[in-house]
Amino acid sequence: MGIKQIGFGSHRAESAELEAETWTHTTSTVIECKLCETKFYYHDLMNDENLNINCECKNLTIKPTPATAAKFKSFIGVYHDEQYPHIYEISYEDYLKTQE
């Protein structure tokens, strides 16, 4: 029988196991302007360090929003002028089809 850790030690061991897991994409988030129907896909945005884009009608602006106390530098901020965006999920396979 192995040694069972209790307290914070067990949480650290569990966190290390979770970080070591390989994560497989199953869905992709779509941000769509309701006015001009421009679509942005999360997977296209997440690696863009100079992210500051607008939809065709300039209703939506997507830009970094600083993150504090996190492992990453920023969140993807979605800002609107006239109309809220439509944000939804599609399967990762469908996302890959948009890249062809």
DSSP state for residue 51 in the 8-state scheme? -
Beta-carbon-side half-sphere exposure of residue 100 (alpha carbons within 13 Å): 5
In whole numbers, what is the pLDDT of the chain averaged over residues? 84
Q: CA dist 17 to 11, 65, 83, 92, Å?
A: 10, 29, 42, 25
At 54-84, the pLDDT tens digits run 999 999 999 988 888 777 778 888 999 999 9
This prediction has a pTM of 0.71
Residue type, 34: K
Alpha helices in the chain, H assignment, sequence order: 8-20, 42-45, 92-98
